[in-house]
């Protein structure tokens, strides 16, 4: 997973209503140092525009061209 990738939230114990919402990856930290190393910006649902942290196994990559490549 890279910056700008679109993802689908497949698991979220903290806020269950986020499951099946779409998001964009905004930051990725070291897996060993952070409890929730992937920071995403939600792009659907009532929490649209909010930032949340997840583990990689809680997210599913949505196929497509990463936004980071389109902005170059």
Phi, psi of 65 (to 5 degrees): -85, 125
Quote the CA–CA distance of 34 and 16 in Å, as a whole number. Answer: 21
Question: Alpha helices of 1-72 — where are they, by DSSP H?
Answer: 67-70
- The per-residue pLDDT for 34 is 84
Cβ-contact 64, 6 below 8 angstroms: yes
What are the structural domains, with CATH classification, of the chain?
A: 6-65 (2.30.30.40)
Q: Give percent helix, percent strand, percent coil of the chain, each to the nearest 5.
A: 15, 30, 55
- At 43, give phi and psi (nearest 5°): -125, 10
pTM of the model: 0.81
Determine contact, residues 35/52, Cβ cutoff 8 Å.
no
pLDDT per residue over 10-54, tens digit each? Answer: 999 888 999 999 999 999 998 778 889 999 999 998 999 999 999
């Amino acid at each position: 997973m890279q910056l700008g990738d679109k993802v689908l939230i497949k698991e979220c114990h903290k806020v269950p209503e986020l499951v099946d919402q779409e998001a964009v990856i905004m930051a990725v930290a070291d897996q060993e140092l952070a409890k929730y190393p992937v920071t995403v910006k939600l792009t659907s649902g009532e929490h649209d525009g909010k930032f949340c942290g997840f583990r990689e196994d809680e997210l599913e990559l949505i196929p497509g061209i990463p936004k980071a490549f389109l902005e170059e």
